[in-house]
Structure 1
Amino acid sequence: MFAASTSQLRVRHGDKHHRVTFVELFFDLVFVFAVTQLSHGLLKHLTPLGAVQTGLLMLGVWWVWIYTAWVTNWCDPDRPAVRLMLAALMLAGLVLSCSIPRAFEDRALPFALAYVFMQLGRTAFMLWVLKRHDPANFRNFTRIFVWLAAATPFWLAGAFAGATIAAFVVSFLGSVAMWAVYFNIGAERASHRIVSSDDPGRIARSGYTYLHLLIVAGIIAVAVGDELVLHHPAGHDGHTDWATAAAIIGGPLLYLIGNALFKRLSAPNLPLSHLVGIGLLALLAPTAATTTPLMLSAGVTVILIVVAGWEWLSLRNAVAIANPPY
């Protein structure tokens, strides 16, 4: 019905701007509806968890809209094929918008399917448009399609078991951050200090016999916390009981304290990144009364990532191994 040999792209005339067509304005109305749905959803769930969920949905809505607006800068909305593509996106956009109020409940699958259809469908249309007329950008859109396709399983998996998948991802990222906090520089620097010390036995005894007790205790508590979050991500009536909160926050707290003291053996001062992380974990503790275990665990993971990233940036030069700039 539509020949690929007929260009669907806008005709450029130097620096002349193109007018916004009515079909584009009509498409924008769908996303005005989506924004309204987001505001109503936040109003009904005016809690820290509700704010985070609304923020995640807003990012999804934003990227669908901004990518589509970008594509319409390339395509000519007066072409029948482009109009059909926009009409299909509008229909999917209505499904997405209507699913927003319960996107983390029974409408998760329609939201995810609409989002995936819009992202992949629009990009596939651009591949069809650019294949014969713009080989360079055809390759760019091929990469975009592959990237969006790679993200598709996560959207769909989240729709089927959102809380469980999210808990697993948070747990995994937290483990990676903990690995980075210890192995990025701490173990190597401690080994170097022991070898070059006049009294290697004393340093090894302090670091590995005593201080590692805190680190290992922290790892055990983290494992307990992760297990609790995986089994009960929503907690009890939207909050975290004190025992679960103690495991979720206490484990990383012990881990950072142990690492800070361990690294003090081979550095002139306690690492500032670790001290800030300890302080942030302490500030996070009171939120357990109004936060689910999953959200509390996510907050802890963010703090661990910040600590690991901060330390990596401060020690990125090789010379810092011998003289760390804490």
Structure 2
Amino acid sequence: MPGQLLRPREASRRASFLELFFDLAFILALNRVSLALEQDLTLGGVFRTALLLAAIWWVWFVTAWSTDWFDPGTPLIIGLLLWVMFGGLMMAAAAPSAYSGHGLVFAGAYVAIHLGRPAFLLPALRGNPLRVRTLRVAVWFALSAVLWLTGALVEPAQVALWTVAVVLDLSLARLRWPTPGLGRSSWADLQVIGEHLAERYQQIYIIALGELILTAGIVYSTSGFDLYRTIAFALAFVNAVSVGRLYLVPGGVRLGAAIDALGPSGSRLGLLAGYLHLVMVAGVVAAAVGAQVMIAEPLSRDPAALMVALSGPALFLVGWILLSAAVHHRVSWHRPVGLAAIVALAAVGRGLPLLVGSALLSVLLILIAHAEKLTPARTGGTGRRPG
């Protein structure tokens, strides 16, 4: 049974239907997180929303790695995926009110997911050396569960405890879950199939872009079809296309080969890519909120709304540049210059109407994409884009 549970290295590297079905829960999750941010555009609101997004991302991330290690076609893993999917839907439903009465639902679902996973796996892995890996992860999730649940029950300490819990959960993966009496996992224990994991990252990023377009379309359809709102909707679409196009060149489409080329230590790059995709997905969520506010009130001069609208693509560019550097070990000059231009726009354009700010942002994104397209010619026409 343990051997049958593991995903064969020679198995298909494409995501299964069930994995794609599992991703559907995160359409709702990202939509509810963007709603939580829209309701509170203060710095505190941004931070609190970031905690929710990090927790939701970690559910998706750990599950994506689990389906890379274990065969998603076996009945046990099918049951595990459905368990996590339902828990993710519960977290999504509770996200907008997680700080105002439904924190226990959000935290309880998160804990149930991460403690339910070893409950599924540990009995099935009896006799397999990799059982210890699952046990290490379970021990640390049990510890963070105390922080999540206590934070949900003690409202004055909620943000502080959840912050510690998020830092603990995300950082322990990089430390490979060092556990007293059990040691820590080796990078070989955590080895992944690069092509499969990279495809999963691409798929969840597309889900995030889909949520942006869905949100923009819903607001446009309910707020009217006047000229300014139509222009705002078109700009939101242009920006979504731009960050989608930029993702594909160059790091996004070469990540899988880079992970596989490193062998067992490729899991380190796969983990870093997971953190950077969180940054990029956060950027898309912020862009969705900015688009929503812009379409509803295109001539608004609300500086907070403009900052959110501009911070979305800026966050994406940060993650994208760092991912490209991790894959290719170098960065073309136009990427940080483009990022600096967006930061400068945010600094000097605080009084601009949202529509104007978004138009200028669109121009910058198009220029960055155009520079990316011209990169092969500037490097001798080899067709190989530098990182």
Alignment TM class, shorter chain as reference: 0.3 to 0.5
Q: Could you say which structure has the larger radius of gyration?
A: 1
